[in-house]
Amino acid sequence: MQALIKIIKIGLSLLLVGIFGMMLSMSGAGNYLEEEIGLDWLFRLRGALPPPHDVIIVSIDKDSAKKLNFSENPEHWPRTTYAQLIQKINKQNPSVIAFNLHFAESRDPVADHLLAKAMMAKKNVILSNYLKQDDDNNDSPIGPVRFEAFIDPISILNNAALCAAPFLLPKSSSTVKEFWSLSSGGIATFPASIFQYYAMKETYPEFLQILQQVDPLLYLSFPDSINKFSPQAEMLQIFHDIKISFTKDDASIGLTEQLISGLRYVRPKTQQLMQSWLGLMTSEKMLYLNHYGDAGAITTVPFYKVLENDSLSPELFTNKVVMVGYSGDIEPEKYQGFYTSFSKNSGKVVSPVEIAATAVANLIDQSWLKPQTMEFRLALVLLWGMVLSGLFRFLSYKIAMILTMVLTVVYWQTCYYEFISLNRWQPLVVPMFQAGVVILWESAVYLLTLRDIANTFIPEGVIDENIRNPKQLEKYGAMTQGVCFKTDAGQYTSLSEKLNPLQLHNLMNRYYDAFFPGVKKRNGQVIDMQGDAILAVFGKAKISAQKLCSDACYAALETKATIDDFNSKNQFPLPTRFGLHFGEMMMGNVGGKKLLFFRAVGDTVNTAARIEELNKLLGTRILVTSAVMEGQHDFFSRELGAFLFKGKLQPVNVCELLGTAEEIRRTCPHLENVMTLFAKAFAFYKNTQWQAALDEFRVVSKIYPEDGPTRFFISYLQYQLSLDAEQLESNKRTLIIDAGNIIAMLHPYK
């Protein structure tokens, strides 16, 4: 069951980042991030492209207005000038001339007639109309109604042109990113109409060959030459009919693709244009622009140069799409908001004719950006999130982090490669965001886990302090006053011989589990362990010395009780001895440059260790110094005298801690009587009435034969009284028990 729960948790953790990515991708915020940031990154990283070969712009700009002495408002320019422009361009046999201008009002009938005549000369001019929105404010049960209508050029010009189509741009938050290829009624827009006529004109024989096999009936309605279309031919309707024929079902699309691929002995450009045409017909209505660069990236010729300069290259417009429209520097207030990823930073305004020219060039090269479908994007971010999460679930943090970085770079490079070579736009920001979330989350979890693990080896707070000053590790530490709490487990040496290392390891871990909570509960810190020996310190700042001593005493008593319970339930008991001493110590990092340990250093530590060892001599469990017991009234203890430890010059007053006063009175009332008798005997000892003291200790021994200190003093006094009178008197004067020497002289348990 636990294994199943673990598998479910791992599965959910793997899915979590992926589901987060899916939700973000489906949201408006996700689309915004991909369009405004991801696409912007890709354009800037790629940089500008060479200008398209098949499209050129004739710009109506300020310089032309000055050179021709015209108004800066192109609406007032004489239409005879546009007629002259068409005649000049047609001398070089362009494929299409497209005006992104609105000839919606009649001005001079003669000029309008001349312009129409110029358009009719080669029947290769396409005009744009515009979308007008009106609100009907009449009372209506459904409220105000908004009407949209296309405003065509005046009739004489509309009839003279190939067609008039709308140029529709979706509104965007900051830059122009998309264009419509079809209007809401399924009619080709201005860029799509220009491209389709251009493609049909350049590939007309091959187009008829394919149309004859895809739709023989429609084929019969087409002339054998594109120049033989009647002046009344509705080109927009023709484009619509072609689209229906080629894409009416999957079989038609498949047949068209097969026929295009099977074209033989044709120019590569012919086959490419046919493929682009089919790509447009099978694409979405709204396409993403693949910008060529900043404003002016597409080859542009000022209006006046076309009219006045006969030195232009004689093939400048030959077989090309010539786009005529306003430059960004003329009446710029009309075009605020026409920016691209390139011009957004430069501040240059991009004119509508440049956007239209970009759209046409994209259609010719089939280079418009092709975002992945929503289904693909969702599957991608789900899989991406699962892979990143899986790395950290099944590999080490270091390897997972390296692989995450490598995969992120590879993914970025893949997106960039597909963008520049296939014009395919992969989701970028959401996967990068997922990678960032995974890295930050896993790093935070790793560091917190590392900190928690470190805090099991080093007292809490030490890691944080060292992180703040990593260059001062060797100097980290502080002098403090507190209680040093030293323990040792009996029978450990013999057990280490009986048990194999694994058994001993498991036993000690259970022992430590029983030991540590009592110390931590009372504000203690375990700072060292060596086999069965444990060193803890009660020395937190802002806690009074009396409180530290009280906490240490409580911890010793509670831990002793816990260990006793542990021993009663285990085959191999570990009776534990405690030694406590209060004093000054240095707590900090100890070691060399490459290896440091957090330790407590000082005489207090050594004294606590000596006191713990004294338990063996006295047959006790918890020994404390008088410095610890000073001012403590909640505990039951007895004085055991002054002891001089090996290597020390000053003796230490030692007491045995037996329990809390309340506990002793409640559970062991007879112990109070025994301790009263012991205190009487000890008073004789301190008054150097050693024979009387020996007699009293023997009385205590009869009542409480297992009392270790009583047995010690009986042996000690017997030994002292056996000395010569001079040595005996010398020892009585000091009343200091030399613990280092007496161990070799006495056998206190006999």
Q: What residue ranges define each of the domains in the chain, with the CATH number in brackets?
A: 2-30+372-456 (no CATH), 49-202+277-365 (no CATH), 473-667 (3.30.70.1230), 672-750 (1.25.40)
Q: How many CB atoms lie within 10 A of CB 648?
A: 15
Q: Is the distance from CB of 196 to CB of 188 less than 8 angstroms?
A: yes
Token output for 302:
């000022």
* For range 667-691, the mean pLDDT: 87
Q: Which 8-state DSSP code applies to residue 593?
A: S
Inform me whether the pLDDT recorded for 147 exceeds 80. Answer: no
The pLDDT mean for the chain works out to 86
For the segment 114-129, the average pLDDT, to the nearest whole number, is 93
DSSP string of 604-669?
A: HHHHHHHHHHHHHHHT-SEEEEHHHHTT--SEEEEEEEEEE-TT-SS-EEEEEEEEEHHHHHHH-H
**Cβ distance 298 to 292 under 8 Å?**
yes
Tokens of 579: 């030694």
Backbone dihedral region for residue 172 (phi beyond 0: left; psi -120 to 50: alpha; all else: beta): beta
pLDDT for position 749? 38
Q: How high is the pLDDT of residue 748?
A: 43
41: pLDDT confidence band, cut at 50, 70 and 90? very high
Question: Which pLDDT score, from 0 to 100, does residue 134 have?
Answer: 53
The answer to whether the beta carbons of residues 708 and 616 sit under 8 Å apart is no
Helix axes 235-247, 250-261, angle to 10 degrees: 100
Name the DSSP letter for residue 369: B
Angle between helices 690-703 and 669-686 (to 10 degrees): 160
DSSP-assigned letter for residue 471? G
Has residue 461 got a pLDDT over 70? Answer: no
Q: Please report which helix (H) or strand (E) contains residue 16, including its range.
A: helix 2-26
Q: What is the pTM of this model?
A: 0.72
Q: What is the pLDDT of residue 45?
A: 92
Q: Where in 397-542 does DSSP place strands (E)? A: 424-425, 477-489, 525-530, 533-538
With 50 as the cut, is the pLDDT of residue 189 above it? yes
* DSSP of 221-245: TS-SSGGGS-TT--HHHHHHHHHHH
The confidence score (pLDDT) of residue 337 equals 52
pLDDT of 501 reads 86
Q: What is the pLDDT of residue 646?
A: 84
- Give φ, ψ of 648 to 5 degrees: -105, 155
> Which amino acid is it at 235?
M
> What is the percentage of the chain residues whose pLDDT exceeds 90?
53
Residue that wins the pLDDT comparison between 388 and 470:
388
d(CA 92, CA 322): 11
> Which range, 85-94, 464-473, 594-603, is most confident?
85-94
What backbone phi and psi angles, to 5 degrees, belong to 396?
-65, 160
- Separation in Å, CA 490 to CA 442, 536, 615, 646, 656: 44, 18, 11, 21, 18
pLDDT digits 0-9 by tens, 301-313: 999 999 987 778 8
Query: Range with the lowest mean pLDDT among 188-202, 227-241, 331-345, 623-637?
Result: 331-345
**For the residues 625-653, what does the mean pLDDT come to?**
90
Print burial letters for 328-338: b (CB count within 10 Å at least 16), e (below 16). bbbeeeebeeb
Strand pairing report for 622-625 and 576-591? parallel
Q: For residue 12, what pLDDT is reported? A: 77
Beta bridge partners of 537: 484, 525
CA 690 to chain centre: 78
Residues β-bridged to residue 287:
179
Residue 317 in contact with residue 89, Cβ under 8 Å? yes
- State mean pLDDT over 561-575: 90
For residues 177 and 155, give the distance between their C-alpha atoms in angstroms, rounded to a whole number.
33
